[in-house]
Amino acid sequence: MSAPVLVARGVGKSFLGVSVLRDIDLELHPGKVHGLVGENGAGKSTFMKILAGVYSRDTGTVSLEGREVDFGHPVQAMRAGLATVFQEFNLLPERNVAENVYLGREPRKGPIVDRRGMVRATRELLDGLGIDTIDPLTRVGSLTVAEQQIVEIVKALSFDARVISMDEPTAALADHEVELLSSIIRKLKERGVAILYVSHRLAEVFALCDDITVLKDGALVSTGPAAELTPDELVRRMVGRPLTTFFPEKEEGTALGDVRFAVRDGGNDYVSGIDLEIRAGEIVGIAGLQGSGRTELVEAAFGVEPFTRGTVEVDGRRLRLGNPRRAVREGIALVTEDRKAHGLALAQPVLDNALLVIRGVFPGRTRAARHEVPGILSSLEVSARGGLAQEVRYLSGGNQQKVVLAKWLATRPRVVLLDEPTRGIDVGAKVAVYRLMRRLAKDGVAQVMVSSELPELIGMADRILVLRDGRIAGEAPAGATEETLLALAAGTVSDGTVDDGTVSDGTVAEAIR
């Protein structure tokens, strides 16, 4: 094996006396992909940020190509050849691709920015990755999420990075886009770039990575070749407990009731031909690739971008849900995908956020809700140092999500639409969300759960609808396999209901490619 390009020894970090990372050793080799896995909060992101120069380390050493380094700013790290693709895009939507790629170090001829050279270089980088669909002069704001991800990678490459670390690069991508990214990573490997790859998608990790390091609670569990690990073993090292505990069983007494929420042949600019019936006590999963219309479907049901065709029924009454307010009045709740953008007023206290919907839509119930909210929050195990007066911006992602849930629970909804309810939250919070869903089901609430995590859908939903290109491509029962869902989502089997949950291997392989 060649000499490592990056060596970390004994790296540790603590915040306010709380140790969050201890004694991490790790080596990256040219042309190898190194997977970094662990539960949320295991310290992966902290470690990456230390490498990237966002945080400074308290202990240990990091050396890049034999020289010890200590970066004070991400750009220092990038200039030294260590580039990081963060989860949140660092792109300017109003500027074009080339301007974004070279932001902060625009090439110059004399004092003049060499725009032509900048565009040419960007095009070359894109060509090198085999991307011919992105024009360097396109405004980034008009690109898809996946394309923006590629722009981020191109930006990293433009530094001529020898080490690229990627923090969950596929989190927002649909599967065919993931495949594209994988091919790009393989290309980078061929060029001898060392890649540190953080992902929650274990299949991806096994498919891509040569080595895998497992972190848990800020400490190193193991580091070694991927070939020596099996998926089960990896999961065991990560979580230290069997996978089944993730999804709580249905609560006793949960029963399917009448149809609570129904859409018949619904459609708008983004989705079409939607037929959907949810019964009281039922959890309906929605699967589909990114951009297949999942979020658009729940937003249509919630009146954000209402259905313009078809009919909507709540408890058998035909209604027109023209805006969210109307939907809320009918007992519908929507837990949005992006809670900071759509779910929370970050500068307001926990209490005000939790009472937001009540105050906005049912002001007459404020007094009563005020008494209930502390109970709801504590049943959700919200932890906030400043209590109800704490501004939510200072809460963790999981606690923020719980505040969002509390906000809707206070309205006593009859239909709850959950769009990626567990995205970006830690395991404990995830379990709390699952438990809550089970409890709501028992109480006769009709639920829709949109998720990119197929295991989550399989584990929680009573049945799963698969969206493709804005239409329902098929329906799978509770026990369906991931392969089945993928095949439906990717359009490799004909539409329809899958009964046995199996599809031939060949088709799946095709689907994944």
Partner 1 sequence: MTLPPPRATTQPGAGLPSIGRRLANLGLALVSPRGAVFLLLLVLLVAIALLNPRFAEPEQFIRFIQRVAPIAIVAIGQYFVIVSGEFDLSMGSLITTQVVVAGNLIGQDDARILPVTLLMIAIGVIVGVVNGLVTTLLKVPSFIVTLGMMLALLGGVFWWTGGAATGNPSDTFRQLGRGGIRDLPVIEFLPWAVVVLAIALAAAIWFSKRPFGRAMIAVGDNVETARYAGIRVWATKTAAFVISSLSATIAGVLLVGYAGVHPSVGRGYEFIAITAVVLGGVVLGGGRGWVVAAVAGAFALEALFTLLNFADIPSTYRDAVQGVIIIAAVAYAAVTFRGRRQRPSRLAEPPAPSTSPPGEEPVVSATPAGSAPHPSGPDGTTQQGGQ
Partner 2 sequence: MTALAAPARTRRVLTTTAIVYLALVAVIVLGAILVSVVANRNFFSPGNIRDILTGMSVLGLFAIGQTLVILGASLDLSVPFVASLASLLAAQTMAGGTGNIAAGVGIALVVGAAIGFVNGAIVTGLKVNGFIATLGTGLIVKGYLDTNYKGTAGSVPWEFQLIGATGLGPVPISTLIMLGLAALVALALRYTRTGHHLFAVGGNAEVARLSGVRTAPPVIAAHVLSSVFAALAGLLLASRLGVGSPTVGSQGGYDLLSIAAVVLGGTLLLGGRGGVAGTIGGVAIFAVIDNVMSVLQVNPFLKDVVRGVVIVAAVAIYTGRAIQRRRPRFSAKEELR
Asked whether position 56 contacts partner 2 by CB under 8 A, the answer is no
Asked whether position 489 contacts partner 2 by CB under 8 A, the answer is no
- Nearest Cα to Cα of residue 130 among 171, 203, 191: 191
Q: Minimum Å distance from CB 167 to partner 1?
A: 7
Q: Report the alpha-carbon distance of residue 313 to residue 260 in Å, rounded.
A: 8
- Nearest Cα to Cα of residue 377 among 363, 388, 391, 366: 388
Asked whether position 471 contacts partner 1 by CB under 8 A, the answer is no
- Tell which positions 22-81 bind partner 1, by CB under 8 A: 39-46, 55
Q: What three-state secondary structure class fits 497?
A: strand
Asked whether position 293 contacts partner 2 by CB under 8 A, the answer is yes
Residue 396 contacts which entry, partner 1, partner 2, none (Cβ below 5-8 A, type-dependent): partner 1
Site residue total, partner 2 (CB under 8 A): 47
Vertex 379, ends 374 and 380: CA angle to 5°? 100
User: Which region among 70-78, 218-226, 428-436, 446-454 touches partner 2 (by CB under 8 A)?
Assistant: 70-78
Interface residue with partner 1, options 29, 32, 123, 339 (CB under 8 A): 339
- Tell which positions 79-98 bind partner 2, by CB under 8 A: 86, 90-95
Q: Minimum Å distance from CB 411 to partner 1?
A: 9
- Tell which positions 330-349 bind partner 2, by CB under 8 A: none
Q: What three-state secondary structure class fits 131?
A: coil
Residue by residue, DSSP assigns 221-270 as: EEEEEGGG--HHHHHHHHHSS-GGGGSPPPPTT----SEEEEEEEEE-SS
Phi, psi at 75, each rounded to 5°: -70, -35
Vertex 380, ends 375 and 381: CA angle to 5°? 95
Which residue, 86 or 434, is less far from partner 2 as judged by CB?
Answer: 86
Q: What is the Cα 239 distance to its own chain's centre?
A: 19
Q: Report the alpha-carbon distance of residue 40 to residue 94 in Å, rounded.
A: 33
Which residue, 21 or 280, is less far from partner 1 as judged by CB?
Answer: 21
The token duo for 385 is 């140092």
Residue by residue, DSSP assigns 163-183 as: EEEEESTTTT--HHHHHHHHH
The token duo for 271 is 């989705």
Vertex 234, ends 232 and 240: CA angle to 5°? 90
Asked whether position 276 contacts partner 1 by CB under 8 A, the answer is no
Which residue, 18 or 112, is less far from partner 2 as judged by CB?
Answer: 112
Which residue, 5 or 143, is less far from partner 1 as judged by CB?
Answer: 143
Residue 325 contacts which entry, partner 1, partner 2, none (Cβ below 5-8 A, type-dependent): partner 1
Which residue, 351 or 511, is less far from partner 1 as judged by CB?
Answer: 351
- Tell which positions 453-482 bind partner 2, by CB under 8 A: 469-470
Asked whether position 93 contacts partner 1 by CB under 8 A, the answer is yes
Residue 180 contacts which entry, partner 2, partner 1, none (Cβ below 5-8 A, type-dependent): partner 2
Which stretches of the chain bind partner 2, using CB under 8 A?
A: 73-75, 78, 86, 90-95, 99, 103-106, 108, 111-113, 115, 130-133, 138, 141-142, 144-147, 176-177, 179-180, 183, 269-272, 291-293, 296, 469-470
